[in-house]
Amino acid sequence: MRRVAIAGVGHTDIMFDSPKTEVEMFAEAAMDAINESNLKPNDIQAINCGNALGDFSEGQGMVQSYIADDIGCFNVPATRFESACASATLGIRDAAMWVASGQYDIVLAGGTEKATAMGTPLATRTFAMGEDSRYDSPSGMTFPGFFAMLAHLYCSRYNIPLEKLKEQMAMVSVQSHHYGVNNPHAQFKKERTVEQVLSSFMIASPLQLFDCCPFSDGAAAVVVASEDVAKKLTDKPVYIVGTGQASAGKMSAQYKYLPRIRAREVSVKQAYDMAGLGPEDIDICELHDCFSIASIIAVESLGFADFGHGGELWEKGETKIGSKIPVNISGGLKSKGHPIGATGASQTYEIVKQLRGELVDQGRQVEGARVGLVDTLGGDGLSCNLILKAD
């Protein structure tokens, strides 16, 4: 198996109500990644595009085919990846495997989403299609309700007072907004305080407005290449040294394991084992903080904190730049935004930029970062992880 690297990256602004279509947004991000890699569109041998909701937001299926045509990659195999929020991460993982196997030398992977065009009711309904439609959805469950339930289960399992957990969750949101201010691509660029989070209106108890990520439009893309090709294209290749993917099934089948997400623990172990690394080796992490409780649960499953103690990382400031494990220095899904089909590629973009040392001017560079972890949760039971390493 060949070593695989990311040679170039591209990213649109994440926003509410983008004037561009999903195809146009992906083309923008893709051309930035292609140009940064010193390539031309006809050098691309395959395209993997994450897209979860285009059928509903634009009435557009087969988005991958029109993307290939739009950027001038004629007659190459183009594949749409749909796995809710993990769609783009799966596309990057598969691109890495294809290149590692020798099937292709250069693959363009990423994602695009235009969720805000649907409005809140339809967007909420389509988001919920990432849950089990036979048993979970008929109960009225949507993702805010699911993660609110996890918060209550978390308190019960680890004997943590609900008010304490709410304060910890507020600290998660405050930190995300703090770093999002300096991310030029972020949807929200405004500081928040713990008091503002705790006084915002209730969405699904105990989750309040500022505990929840927004609906978002945006796209991101990366060029995945074999080591020998990548070294010709860039003097700063970032290697994909570990990947993992696992599924845990419907929520009702996971009741004995919740609030832990079993798929994440399986997936990240696969990535750690493949890379020959452990959580102690990670310098920076972009994790799936769709809701503030999700961050606390994630840092435990990724190995950064003992179970029941994840929130203490934020209390002690150990998730900030210069601390134990910098988390979501991009602003995360909460502040940067959550363009579902593009989110995994957006996370990967951030880690690549950090490992190259290119965010100094934005005031959010993690000094000396050499190894980064991407964590993306899809639906209520699928997880995909990528470990990236600077040369």
- 73 flagged as catalytic: no
Q: Average pLDDT over the chain, rounded to whole?
A: 95
- In-domain check, residue 132: no
CATH code of residue 345:
3.40.47.10
Instruction: Kindly name the residue from 49, 85, 285, 290 that is annotated as catalytic.
Output: 85
Bridge partners, residue 240, by sequence? 388
In this predicted model, what pLDDT tens digit does every residue of 34-93 receive, in sequence order?
A: 999 999 999 999 999 999 998 888 888 889 999 999 999 988 999 999 999 999 999 999
Q: Is the pLDDT of residue 200 over 90?
A: yes
In this predicted model, what pLDDT tens digit does every residue of 236-271 receive, in sequence order?
A: 999 999 999 999 877 778 888 889 999 999 999 999
Pick 371 or 249 by higher pLDDT: 371
Q: Is the pLDDT of residue 376 over 90?
A: yes
Q: How confident is the model over 276-305, as a mean pLDDT?
A: 97
- In-domain check, residue 142: no
- In-domain check, residue 14: yes
Q: Is the pLDDT of residue 123 over 90?
A: no
| 246: Cβ contacts below 8 Å, ≥ 6 apart | 262, 263, 264, 266, 267, 270, 382, 383
> What pLDDT was estimated at residue 368?
96
Please check whether residue 339 is in contact with residue 228, taking contact to mean a CB–CB distance below 8 angstroms: no
- In-domain check, residue 58: yes
Structural domain count of the chain: 1
Rounded CA gap, 153 and 139, in Å? 18
DSSP letter at 83? B
Q: Is the pLDDT of residue 159 over 80?
A: yes
- In-domain check, residue 345: yes
Q: What is the sign of the dihedral through the CA atoms of 164, 165, 170 and 173?
A: positive
Pick 292 or 1 by higher pLDDT: 292
> What pLDDT was estimated at residue 58?
85
- List the one residue out of 389, 110, 39 whose CA is nearest residue 237: 389
Which residue carries 């832990």 as its tokens?
260
Prediction pTM value: 0.97
Q: Is the pLDDT of residue 380 over 80?
A: no
Please check whether residue 242 is in contact with residue 92, taking contact to mean a CB–CB distance below 8 angstroms: no
- In-domain check, residue 188: no
> What pLDDT was estimated at residue 251?
77
Please check whether residue 179 is in contact with residue 335, taking contact to mean a CB–CB distance below 8 angstroms: yes
> What pLDDT was estimated at residue 56?
87
> What pLDDT was estimated at residue 117?
86
Percent residues over pLDDT 70 in the chain = 100
In this predicted model, what pLDDT tens digit does every residue of 89-109 receive, in sequence order?
A: 999 999 999 999 999 999 999
pLDDT class of 302 with cuts at 50, 70, 90: very high
Which residue carries 């890699």 as its tokens?
37
- In-domain check, residue 185: no
Q: Is the pLDDT of residue 381 over 80?
A: no
Q: How confident is the model over 226-233, as a mean pLDDT?
A: 97
- In-domain check, residue 71: yes
Instruction: Kindly name the residue from 177, 285, 338, 384 that is annotated as catalytic.
Output: 338
- 155 flagged as catalytic: no
Containing structural domain, residue 356: 4-120+214-390
| 145: Cβ contacts below 8 Å, ≥ 6 apart | 204
Q: Is the pLDDT of residue 173 over 80?
A: yes
